[in-house]
Amino acid sequence: MTLAMNSSTILSIEQMRATYVDQWLLIAFTTLDQNLNVLAGEVLAHSKNRDEIYAALDQRDGKSFAIEYTGTPDEDVAYLL
C-alpha cells in the first residue's frame, strides 16, 4: 500500500483512474455529483489490495472519504455497495 501523505493535489476521478490503474483508492473527496459519485478529490492511499485500504482509514484525519476501485469488476462476483 502507498499512503499519499502530505499530498494535497486534487485530481478528477478520470485522472485518478488513469494514474492508479486497477487499484483501490482512499479518496478525501472535494466534489460529488447529484448521485453522490466522486468527481474530484485527494488520493490519501492506493493499493492493489482492498484490505490495505481499509487498514488506512485512520489516515483520513476527519475528512469525508470514499473508497473507489479503478479496475473492471469481475463478472462472476457480486459487490455490496
What's the Cα-to-Cα distance from 11 to each of 44, 75, 79, rounded to whole Å?
A: 11, 28, 26
At 33, list the grid cell. Answer: 455529483
Specify the pTM.
Answer: 0.83
65, 70, 76, 79: CA torsion to nearest 10: 10
Q: Which residue has the higher pLDDT, 4 or 78?
A: 78
Span 21-32, pLDDT tens digits = 999 999 999 999
Span 15-69, pLDDT tens digits = 999 999 999 999 999 999 999 999 999 999 999 999 999 998 887 778 899 999 9
